[in-house]
Chains A and B, each alone.
Chain A
Amino acid sequence: MRIDDTCITCGVCIPYCPVGAISLSSEKAEINQDECVECGVCLRADVCPTDSIIQPELEWPRSLRRAFSDPTAPHAADGMAGRGTAEMKTNDVTGRYRVGEAGIALDVGRPGIGTRLRDMEKIYKRLVKLGVQFEKQNPVSSLVENDKEGTFKEEVLNEKVLSGILEFKVPSNRLKEILREIEKCATEVDTVFSVALIDKVAEDGSMPNYETARQLGYHPSINAKVCIGVGRPQAKF
Chain B
Amino acid sequence: MTHNLHRQGTRENLSNDFTVFLVPARGYNYDGAGPKKRRFWEIAFRNNVVNAGTNDIGGNLITLSPQELLNRIMEGKNMAACVCTSKKDVVNILKESLAEDFGISLVVQGIREEVEDCLRQVGLKPHAVNHSLGFWGRTDKLPDREVLEITTMCGHGMISTNLAKKCIEDVTSGRMTPREVARLLARPCVCGIFNTSRAEALLGRIALRAR
Spell out A's residues near B (CB within 8 Å): 14-20, 39, 41, 44-45, 71-72, 80-84, 86-94, 97, 103, 105, 107, 110-113, 162-163, 165, 179, 182-183, 185-186, 189-201, 205, 207, 209-210, 213, 218-233
Could you say which residues of chain A place their CB within 8 Å of the CB of B138?
A: 113, 189-192
Q: Are B105 and A93 in contact (CB under 8 A)?
A: yes
Is B206 positioned at the interface, with any CB of A under 8 Å from its CB? no
Given the complex of chains A and B, what is the CA–CA distance between A182 and B135 in angstroms?
12
Contact of B5 among A14, A192, A193, A221 (CB under 8 A): A221
The contact size tier of chain B is 35 or more
Q: Are B109 and A218 in contact (CB under 8 A)?
A: no
Q: Are A221 and B131 in contact (CB under 8 A)?
A: yes
11 contacts between A and B (CB under 8 A): A71-B158, A88-B129, A107-B2, A107-B3, A112-B142, A113-B142, A192-B142, A199-B129, A218-B133, A223-B112, A228-B108
Is B201 positioned at the interface, with any CB of A under 8 Å from its CB? no
Q: Report if A201-B166 is in contact (Cβ < 8 Å); known contacts: A90-B23, A112-B143.
A: no
Q: Are B106 and A228 in contact (CB under 8 A)?
A: yes
Given the complex of chains A and B, what is the CA–CA distance between A30 and B16 in angstroms?
40
Minimum CB distance partner of A165 in chain B: B2
Q: Are B190 and A89 in contact (CB under 8 A)?
A: no
Could you say which residues of chain B place their CB within 8 Å of the CB of A111?
A: 3, 6, 135, 142, 148, 151-152, 157
Minimum CB distance partner of B167 in chain A: A15
Q: Are B107 and A89 in contact (CB under 8 A)?
A: yes
Is B207 positioned at the interface, with any CB of A under 8 Å from its CB? no
